[in-house]
Amino acid sequence: MAEPAPRKRLKDEEVVAILVKVILEEGTVASQTRLAELVNRQLKRRGAAVTPARVRVLAVRSGLVGLTVRTRSDGPTPDLERCPVCHSKLRRTANRTLTGATAQTGYRCTRCPWWTGREMRVPHHYVFQAKVARAEGGGQISFVPAQRRL
């Protein structure tokens, strides 16, 4: 008798291991929807699934994945506690004015590339990239001794 696949919640480490493998294979993944699709393909036979938002946050927090954030402007920046991209802490950014006073201008994430000024830069698209390229394929990184002349 076959047991039904349990729909359990995956540990973050399990998801990270799969998403890093997927990104290394793909090189570049053009959206968080696509990334979740690829990860969920691997998870299917385990009866588990992850959401695009969770995959995105874990990808950023892994430190192993490069991220490009596309944004659109949407009015003045509200008070923010956490990064809208990866939920990490934010640092306030400030400009020095002509009189030497500092003026709060926006926020910068302490972990990912997202930032905003007075105008809220709302993230709406993400591109994920492998930070470490695969060794195969004849890259120029390896140390090659000079050719011996005959």
**Residues in touch with Zn ion (CB under 5 A):** 83, 85-86, 88, 109, 111-112, 114
Q: Which is nearer to Zn ion, 48 or 114 (CB)?
A: 114
Distance from first CA to last CA of the chain, Å, rounded? 71
Output the furthest CA–CA distance in the chain (Å, rounded): 78
Q: Least distance (Å) from Zn ion to the CB of residue 112?
A: 3
Nearer to Zn ion, 31 or 88 (CB): 88
Residue 40 or 71: the one with the smaller Cβ distance to Zn ion is 71
CB 104 within 8 A of CB 93: yes
Tell me the C-alpha distance between 105 and 100, whole Å: 15
Tokens found for residue 135: 């060794």
Instruction: Please state the closest distance from residue 90 (CB atom) to Zn ion, in A.
Output: 8
Minimum gap (Å) between residue 147 Cβ and Zn ion:
47
Q: Of 34 and 56, which CB lies nearer to Zn ion in the complex structure?
A: 56
As measured in angstroms, the least distance from the Cβ of 2 to Zn ion is 43
Pick from 76, 82, 130: which is nearest to 105 by CA?
76
Please say whether the beta carbons of 65 and 20 come within 8 A.
yes
